Structure 1
Amino acid sequence: MTDMKIFPILFTTLILSGCGGGETQTADGGIGGTGVAWGRVTGFGSIYLNDIKYETTTTSYQFEEPTRVDQSDLKVGMVVRITGNNDGVNGEAETVEYADLLEGTVSGNDIAGSSSLTVMGQTVIVDLDTIYDDGGTGILLADLAIDAVIEVSGFSDGLGVIYATRIEVKSAAWGGEELEVKGIVQNLNTIAFTFEIGGLTVDWSTTASLPDGNPVEGQYVEAKGDSFNGATFVADEVETEGDGDLEWAEDGEELEIEGIVTTDFDDITNQFTLNGQTVQITASTEFEDGNTGDILAGKPLEVEGTMDGALLIASEIEFGTDSADKLEVEDTVASVDLDAGSFTTVLSGQTFVTTTSTIFIDELTNDQFFSLASLNSGDSVDVNYVDEGGGTLTATKVERE
């Protein structure tokens, strides 16, 4: 059975999670007209984002890989871009787009220490919310060997650090298949025909075609190839990703984006970056579960606002739960209360509340539609949760084993 130990799957709906753990913030007016939402997939069916239900009957799906064609090819933990509209309660998803950040070989594994991998010069950070799919190899995340090939989805500013939301093993050892990496062009050398993405040197001297012209310093690109010696990646293709920047929507579009703070809040400019996107705070920006002093690199946030040129003007900012505050327990289900949306366990006697962001995964029978209603007394479960205080324990993941 595929090992997906860290973050669960809920297939009854397709949900873009909020930051998890705290209260759910709902936009007052919704998106008037077309807007954009970025976040991680937590289940399949209709699309729920901040308590808004997006219908998907006419949705089109876009993937980089030609073998992926529709919603059945989406996986829990993938970070996707949804274009659609809503009235604050209901909406329609026009498009759902997915593209990974990295498909490369492991060169270092420090999961037991720093909870990170090194993959083609990129530092891949994992936590309790990261889904690990062993791809049927039976290899545990902590046991991934050097030269294993993995696909990574997550949040990044393109400068060499990825906060992984999903890691999938493609093969236990690299066999010469095509690899790919996305990031910001740094230290461009037009004489040697090299540049760097994070700690990876990319050699584009033998590139057959550059559809977007020569790489430019600071440009966001994707490099593909099948020649890598552990230090230098010889690219067969280098192309600009999107407009070559890390602006997650176009001027004038409403945007809701989940991610990780990549630069601290600057109290002079009143700006910070989230996944590399510059966010502008104004006097009318509303905050939930934090303030500007809490906007620090590595913190999980969700921001709603409107694009003004290259800036995201924030209307609402919701703070997520730090990895250090997430807890885990293995126990047996004593009872389930569907009306309250909760369940109680035997050994701890604790009651866990579930929300629309809670993810369910069934390792016991591999039930794709596993949910709270599927839980039975006596089921063994692994629960990730957040202690909200006042006796409230909110489950972020429920895995039946």
Structure 2
Amino acid sequence: MEIQKKHIFGTMVVTSMLYACGGGSDTAVDPIAPISANGALQLSIKGLPSGADSTVLVTGPEGYTSDVNGDATLSDLLPGTYTVTADPVVAQNAEFDVIPASISFTVTANNTTVQELIYMTDIQSKGVITNFGSVYVNGVRFSTDDTTISTDDNDDASEDDLDVGMNVTVKGRKTADGSISTASHIDYNVHAEGPIESISLSDNQIVVLGQVYQVDSRTVFEDKLFSELKVADVVEISAIKSADETWLATHIETSDAADTYKLIGEIANLDESGQTFNVGSVSVDFSQAVIEGTLANGALVKISSAQGLVDGVIVADEVELKDDNSNSDKLALDGIISSLSETQFVIAGKTVQWDENTQFRAGNSDDLNVGIRVKIEGTELDGNLVASVIRFDKQGEIEVKGVIQAIDLESNTLTVLDTVFLVDEYSQLKDDSDLDIRRFRLDLLSIGDLVEIEAFSNGDNLIVKTLEREETDASRNNDDAEAEIKGQVIAIDGQTIELQGAIVTTGQFTEYELGDSDVSADVFFAQLLAGDWIEVEGIKQADGSILATDIETSRANGDNGDDESGGVEFSGLISSFDSVESFTVNGRLITTDERTVFKGTAFTTIAEGVRVEVYGREADNGDILATRIKMEDNDHSDDYSVEIEGALEADAENGRLIINQQTVFFDVSTQISDGSEADLLQGTYVEIKASVDENGTLFALKIEIEDGDEQNSADVEGTISELLDNGEIVVEGITIVLNEMTEFENGNISRIEVGAYVEVEGQFNEQQKLVARKIEFSDSDESEIEGRISAVLSETQFTLGDIVIEHNQYTAFEYGSASDISVGVEVEVDGFVNDEGIFIAEKIEFQED
């Protein structure tokens, strides 16, 4: 590195005076002798570990020598050329030195020369880029002023070719405390480039070139969301090794059809005579390949192939041995613990040792466990890594979406939803706004920006794990009070929920979802437990709490499933539409059946270009059987409005209504349909769409007046006895009228058949027919069966006792697969009985004997 120089100039005043005695005396006074005009040298020593002393030799004119062990000022130096030589210092099992080791300079009279010596050690850091300015890897900011950068396709790349989430190898130098770090070279290679063979939203996995890649909340998707990827898309994946034979994807971007497919992995089962080896479960044929290096089991290689994976075999055109040796005293790694013993563990094949001198960050030694992701820095000793720092990459405990209220660059904090979050050197920052700033930093955020944050608690701080800016303040149209939060339930008090860093309150209008089913508040809270994950949409209140408009159970952060049943959920526009039973969202075929619930409006309004939220079960080929379809406005303007329906409890007065024991305000801007303000009388049945402000006040955006009054409202429960030719049905002798505004629960109009048990809410018309507002199908046919398989009837059917169980492409399997189905195996099956009396399995869980 270049030694930094700095000169501080001082002045010394030398005066000479001639004194005369008497007016004409010839006697002269000798002048005062001048002060010796020597100089000084101030040495500043930086970069060594605490307690380590430097060994510096200073030589100069007339045989001058001086040994210096730390910061020092050498005075009364003769002007001339001096040389400072810094010997290497061994500390913490690493060698620290100054480059160049010797430097010469001139000391001039009456001046103090300041010379800074920075001790650094070589380091190789293998990990994921979390931030820019210059480049942050494994919690260290590496300066990239004089760095060479290489990628797969470009040995002369630039920093613009790098992105957050890419797993890179940095070679450079750093001081003991990391305050000064420089990168001499950064190398990025994709772990895999090829077509997607399969995708599982429920398992958060994709398969490329035979390798399984897991996706989590920190995976960066460059141009498509996970739910938008589809089979046959060509992707470039950056990844780190997981605890098993899978990989954790850290960065995924799509590319055009590749001329060459690539895969990095370790050689196993090398057969030199047959010229094959394995990478994971895939066989590699290298008989026609150019080999760079010596192949051996356990060696890390990069495979290039024009054909890709064909019938489970990659025919390699080139196999390049990747040098995995650090050749540095310091080594930093980002990985997942695959095995663990008392004072050591293994990540990415490297044994890591720790002792009483190891510094733990964001956790302690008790938090070490198989499957935990950690970032490590240490020194190599006898082939092992002796850790000086272990930093835990903990699972997020809270996820919030809201606008920035405050930013403090001195403390590196920002405030969202009245909660303070700390951005540290490990936080991953990404700009997903229209500005799309690549080198994104905390100081580029502004108050009013809409951000999504995932964080975990560490002491008194909430540490940012990931931060994504969704919209800038200038482009955002939403209300500052709008809020989303996801986290684990800490405590429940009545119908108030405490999450990490937030209190969630509820109201009469709050909608509740368990899995993919709408439920009442009583049912929801009867099943909710501390430790459960929930997602909340609502309005931030003046006291800092969040008044929920929607609450649903969820999986942990990073999972795409909607509940524990293995279902999935995602949003998108309908891009092609064949029928209500078959349409495409995010490139995925969505099918519906008679049990699919259409929420938000009648299913007849589904069409191309409509935005929907899909809940359902996923087939191996990525198709989704929807259990629920929820309509969304394309501009999301209604995300934080609420809907209330019922009979008015009093006449409208002074711009206010009372419905379901809730006061709703309205004014001339409120849209009133099928009537006017004069019709808002006690007993009138209305449907209200209202906004909620920060004080929990409801304001009616739209009021729809239903025909009839409270006396005409009725509920009918029973079995459908007749289907009339005009589309009407008969329940308990009452004729039920269905129209496009009829809402269905636990199914749709396809479930209307003789013998179906329904609950109907509606109003009688002039013909005394009940016009249905809502029809709810009984879930009595939903059940759970447990037992040992008594017979296997076919590839898709087996029996439990006398009950025929049928599974299909949408059946979720837990602790096993369809191939494990055999006589005597004990299973637990969730599902329903269809019209043919066959039990359709939605989930099959294999039980331990």
1:225 maps to 305
The counterpart of 2:210, out of the listed 121, 137, 146, is 121
Structure 1 residue 159: Cα displacement: 7.7
Find the aligned partners of 2:134 and 2:154 in 1 and give their Cα distance: 24
The superposition leaves residues 63-90 of structure 1 with CA deviations (integer Å, 9 ceiling, x where unpaired) of 3322761212111111222222222221
The counterpart of 2:192, out of the listed 102, 106, 124, is 102
1:2-401 matched pairs, under 5 angstroms: 32=96, 33-48=121-136, 53-66=141-154, 69-87=157-175, 88=177, 89-110=179-200, 112-134=201-223, 139-156=224-241, 160-171=245-256, 175=257, 177-207=259-289, 209-213=290-294, 215-227=295-307, 228-229=309-310, 231-242=312-323, 246-247=324-325, 249-250=326-327, 253-261=329-337, 263-267=338-342, 270-282=343-355, 284-322=357-395, 325-345=396-416, 348-358=417-427, 359-368=429-438, 370-388=440-458, 390=460, 392=462, 394=464, 396-401=466-471
RMSD, aligned α-carbons: 2.9
Find the aligned partners of 2:273 and 2:462 in 1 and give their Cα distance: 61
Task: Give the residue type in structure 1 aligned to 2:125.
Answer: A
2:75 maps to none
Find the aligned partners of 1:231 and 1:386 in 2 and give their Cα distance: 41
Find the aligned partners of 1:206 and 1:328 in 2 and give their Cα distance: 50
Checking the alignment, whether the CA contact within 8 Å between 2:430 and 2:438 is kept in structure 1 is: no
Find the aligned partners of 1:154 and 1:129 in 2 and give their Cα distance: 11
The structure-2 alpha-carbon separation of the partners of 1:67 and 1:363, relative to structure 1 and needing over 3 Å to count, comes to farther
The structure-2 alpha-carbon separation of the partners of 1:374 and 1:314, relative to structure 1 and needing over 3 Å to count, comes to closer
Unaligned runs of 5+ in 1: 1-26
Residue 64 of structure 1 aligns to a residue whose secondary structure is: coil
Structure 1 residue 183: Cα displacement: 1.0
Find the aligned partners of 1:339 and 1:275 in 2 and give their Cα distance: 37
Structure 1 residue 234: Cα displacement: 0.9
Find the aligned partners of 1:282 and 1:393 in 2 and give their Cα distance: 26
The structure-2 alpha-carbon separation of the partners of 1:241 and 1:389, relative to structure 1 and needing over 3 Å to count, comes to same
Residue 43 of structure 1 aligns to a residue whose secondary structure is: strand
Structure 1 residue 393: Cα displacement: 5.4
Checking the alignment, whether the CA contact within 8 Å between 2:129 and 2:137 is kept in structure 1 is: no
The structure-2 alpha-carbon separation of the partners of 1:368 and 1:238, relative to structure 1 and needing over 3 Å to count, comes to closer
Structure 1 residue 169: Cα displacement: 1.0
Structure 1 residue 109: Cα displacement: 0.6
Find the aligned partners of 2:362 and 2:463 in 1 and give their Cα distance: 16
Structure 1 residue 198: Cα displacement: 0.9
Checking the alignment, whether the CA contact within 8 Å between 1:37 and 1:83 is kept in structure 2 is: yes
Find the aligned partners of 1:103 and 1:302 in 2 and give their Cα distance: 26
TM-score of the superposition, structure 1-length normalised? Answer: 0.78
Q: Who wins on radius of gyration, i.e. which is larger? A: 2
Find the aligned partners of 1:303 and 1:67 in 2 and give their Cα distance: 28
Structure 1 residue 380: Cα displacement: 2.3
Checking the alignment, whether the CA contact within 8 Å between 2:335 and 2:373 is kept in structure 1 is: yes
Find the aligned partners of 2:415 and 2:244 in 1 and give their Cα distance: 44
Judge which range, 32-41 or 123-132, deviates more.
32-41
Find the aligned partners of 1:283 and 1:380 in 2 and give their Cα distance: 43
Checking the alignment, whether the CA contact within 8 Å between 2:363 and 2:458 is kept in structure 1 is: no
Structure 1 residue 367: Cα displacement: 3.3
Residue 160 of structure 2 aligns to a residue whose secondary structure is: helix
Find the aligned partners of 1:176 and 1:279 in 2 and give their Cα distance: 38
The structure-2 alpha-carbon separation of the partners of 1:230 and 1:321, relative to structure 1 and needing over 3 Å to count, comes to farther
TM-score of the superposition, structure 2-length normalised? Answer: 0.39
Find the aligned partners of 1:230 and 1:170 in 2 and give their Cα distance: 23
Checking the alignment, whether the CA contact within 8 Å between 1:158 and 1:182 is kept in structure 2 is: no
Find the aligned partners of 2:392 and 2:437 in 1 and give their Cα distance: 32
Find the aligned partners of 2:171 and 2:461 in 1 and give their Cα distance: 38
Task: Give the residue type in structure 1 aligned to 2:276.
Answer: T
Checking the alignment, whether the CA contact within 8 Å between 1:101 and 1:182 is kept in structure 2 is: yes
Task: Give the residue type in structure 2 aligned to 1:153.
Answer: S
The structure-2 alpha-carbon separation of the partners of 1:290 and 1:145, relative to structure 1 and needing over 3 Å to count, comes to same
Task: Give the residue type in structure 2 aligned to 1:195.
Answer: F
Find the aligned partners of 2:141 and 2:197 in 1 and give their Cα distance: 41
Structure 1 residue 196: Cα displacement: 1.4
- Higher RCO (C-alpha 8 Å, min separation 6): 1
Count how many residue pairs are aligned between Structure 1 and Structure 2.
354
Residue 210 of structure 1 aligns to a residue whose secondary structure is: strand
The superposition leaves residues 305-363 of structure 1 with CA deviations (integer Å, 9 ceiling, x where unpaired) of 111242212233222213xx343222223343444433333xx4333332343314142
1:15 maps to none
Find the aligned partners of 1:179 and 1:399 in 2 and give their Cα distance: 33
Structure 1 residue 164: Cα displacement: 1.5
| Percentage identity across paired residues of the two chains | 26
Find the aligned partners of 1:382 and 1:120 in 2 and give their Cα distance: 33
The structure-2 alpha-carbon separation of the partners of 1:169 and 1:376, relative to structure 1 and needing over 3 Å to count, comes to same
Find the aligned partners of 2:340 and 2:137 in 1 and give their Cα distance: 26
Task: Give the residue type in structure 2 aligned to 1:81.
Answer: T
Checking the alignment, whether the CA contact within 8 Å between 2:127 and 2:333 is kept in structure 1 is: yes
Checking the alignment, whether the CA contact within 8 Å between 2:169 and 2:188 is kept in structure 1 is: yes
Checking the alignment, whether the CA contact within 8 Å between 1:158 and 1:276 is kept in structure 2 is: no
Task: Give the residue type in structure 2 aligned to 1:128.
Answer: S
Find the aligned partners of 1:128 and 1:217 in 2 and give their Cα distance: 33
